[in-house]
Chain A
């Protein structure tokens, strides 16, 4: 940074300094196909700031050993850092207790944990699970597997043309057999922010617990699990500037305590004999084997990073990008936005007339622009909108208006090539 830039910055004291944030992310300096990288695939995976990368290096170089085992210095240090990360996540999502925060390998693993630990114990033949058309495959398939095993039934909340859930239909799906609701907080394919608080309240009034897939919400909104009153809330580290291989299942202690263990192994037990094994307490009972310690330390650092900027500031910045991109795309002939709900997070799915999304993706990549093309692991959504696939731009805290402009110019180029 030059002295002049510093002076300007001090004078203007911008509330949200995106250039300073970008400087924290080494990968954003990359060139792709001779162009500066324009990374708009954050809903698939976000990038890590130096603060997280450095934290992982510090852990690996000065703190690593197995947790909850040895009495030696490094084991105690690693255990301390691992548990400290749990407390950071607890504060970040405002969980009541740290033992309600379970480390998993990701959102998928967290949902599978609930399907096994809760589902296999409390969902039986002819029972019903309510899901929505918007769900990611990770919040469909585990329930289908359970339903097949138990003879249970899956009921699906429809979406309207804008990509919003039909709440009347949702309420009508409840009956005496309803045992669980699974709903995503923010749609990865369309960006819709679902009214989960209201949906949870409705389900609770009928004694039905709710699992929220928060993978796309936690990086972009302030999430308060006590305010939502969710029974389970699942999310991933790698979509919130943390590393891959780490995810979180938040569960209410009262619910988690009634569940069966999911994976068996070391750390999840208190004592083992061949006659009888006594299980450990929360959260360890759900963390069999050596956990992703480095990943936990990494997600803790990501939480620190995001908290220092502030989730409200991040949400406001991303909303600005979303509004700008939406306005630009709306003005373009031959471009259609898929998903036009009034409440959206920073995801825009779009279709270009006469051009398949894979061709869009390849041509944008030529200009260094990374978007996702395909079904976004949400094939029921694609079927609902009669599309085989869409192109999707998803923004994060480090994206800029200039990058939106690059995307728009890239789309114009695609239209020119296929004119």
Chain B
């Protein structure tokens, strides 16, 4: 097992302390609310999609450091990107978090690879994935989502509460 300390790297602690793009978007074109009922984490993601581009993105919520830092870094990563580029990042992040691809298999994630350590902490995988899950729901115009949904498109292979 990798050193779990690696998970709480300075970049994650920094984004937790000073989350980027934190707040509401008054004129959001897309919006979704994500909830992890197992731990009570809640994330709101709002998007302003201009044509095919994510012109603006904001998030709010109450969550652990892993979830908040993941959300903050996600907003930085997808801002200004096309839908297709965002979907690619969502897919790659998910596959990294559940350990389907290793650090050497990452093409697009860049600094987001700091979250690779969650794969060794099965109960924390959902914390890292929740913002991405919510972004996916917002892009696909699903107003509310949960990490426990039956049709969870990003269902992580972990146990119960």
Contacts and interface: CB of A to CB of B under 8 A. Distances in A.
Contact of B41 (A363, A365, A382, A388): A388
Interface string A407-419: 0000000000110
Nearest to B63: A356
Interface size class of A (residues with CB under 8 A): 10 to 19
B124 interface: yes
Interface in A356-379: 356-359, 362-363, 365-366, 373-375, 377
Interface string B96-133: 00000000000000000000000001011001000000
A22 B159 CA distance: 30
A72 to B, nearest CB: 40
Contacts of A23: none
A355 B65 contact: yes
B13 A417 contact: yes
A356 B4 contact: no
Interface in A383-399: 388-389
A358 B64 contact: yes
Contact of B64 (A33, A356, A375, A417): A356
Given A355-B65, A362-B4, A374 B124 contact: no
B62 interface: yes
B4 A358 contact: no
A352 to B, nearest CB: 12
A359 B64 contact: yes
A358 B40 CA distance: 10
Nearest to B42: A388
Contact of B39 (A355, A366, A377, A389): A389
B65 A377 contact: no
Interface string B18-49: 00000000000000000000111110000000
B31 to A, nearest CB: 21
A62 B160 CA distance: 36
B66 A388 contact: no
Contacts of B4: 33, 362, 365-366
Contact of A358 (B5, B16, B66, B161): B66
B46 to A, nearest CB: 21
Contact of B8 (A357, A373, A375, A417): A417
A362 B7 contact: yes
Nearest to B4: A366
Contacts of A417: 8, 13
A388 B40 CA distance: 5
A414 to B, nearest CB: 10
Interface string A102-145: 00000000000000000000000000000000000000000000
B62 A358 contact: no
B49 to A, nearest CB: 30
Contacts of B121: 362
Given A377-B161, A418-B13, A359 B39 contact: no
B66 A389 contact: no
B13 to A, nearest CB: 7
A116 to B, nearest CB: 24
A358 B65 CA distance: 8
Contact of A356 (B1, B7, B65, B123): B65
A362 B40 contact: no
B40 A375 contact: yes
Q: Find the residue from A358, A362, A365 having the highest chain B CB count within 10 A.
A: A358
Nearest to B68: A356
| Cβ-closest 4 pairs across A and B | A388-B40, A356-B64, A358-B64, A359-B65
Interface of A: 33, 355-359, 362-363, 365-366, 373-375, 377, 382, 388-389, 417-418
19 contacts: A355-B65, A356-B63, A357-B39, A358-B39, A358-B124, A359-B8, A362-B7, A362-B8, A362-B124, A363-B8, A365-B4, A366-B4, A366-B5, A373-B39, A374-B39, A375-B39, A388-B39, A417-B8, A417-B13
Given A374-B40, A382-B40, 7 more contacts: A356-B64, A357-B39, A358-B124, A362-B4, A362-B8, A374-B39, A418-B13
